[in-house]
Amino acid sequence: MSPSVRRIVAPLVGIVTFGLLWQAAVRVFDIRRFVLLAPSEILSELAEAPGFYWSNALITGRHMLVGLSIAMAFALVVGALMASSRFIEEATQPVLILILVTPWVAYITSVVLWLDGGDPTILFMVAFTSFPVFTFGVVGGMKSADPAARELLASVDARPWEVFWRLRLPASLPSIFTTLRFALGLGLAAAYFSEGSALTRDGLGAIGRTAAASNQAETLWATITTAALLGITGLLAISLLERSLLRWHVSQRP
Residues that bind another protein (CB under 8 A): 146, 148-149, 151-159, 162, 166-167, 170, 173, 246-250, 253
- Closer CB to another protein, residue 36 or residue 153? 153
User: Residue 247 CB, nearest distance to another protein (Å)?
Assistant: 8
- Closer CB to another protein, residue 81 or residue 158? 158
115-127 in b/e burial notation, b at 16+ Cβ within 10 A? bebebebbbbbbb
Dist CA 18 CA 25 (whole Å):
10
User: Residue 168 CB, nearest distance to another protein (Å)?
Assistant: 11
- Closer CB to another protein, residue 12 or residue 148? 148
- Closer CB to another protein, residue 99 or residue 173? 173
Dist CA 118 CA 20 (whole Å):
39
User: Residue 144 CB, nearest distance to another protein (Å)?
Assistant: 12
CB atoms within 10 A of CB 167: 18
User: Residue 251 CB, nearest distance to another protein (Å)?
Assistant: 12
- Closer CB to another protein, residue 30 or residue 159? 159
User: Residue 250 CB, nearest distance to another protein (Å)?
Assistant: 7
Dist CA 113 CA 65 (whole Å):
23
Q: What is the largest CA-CA distance in the chain?
A: 72
Estimate the share of the chain in helix, then strand, then coil, as percent rounded to the nearest 5: 85, 0, 15
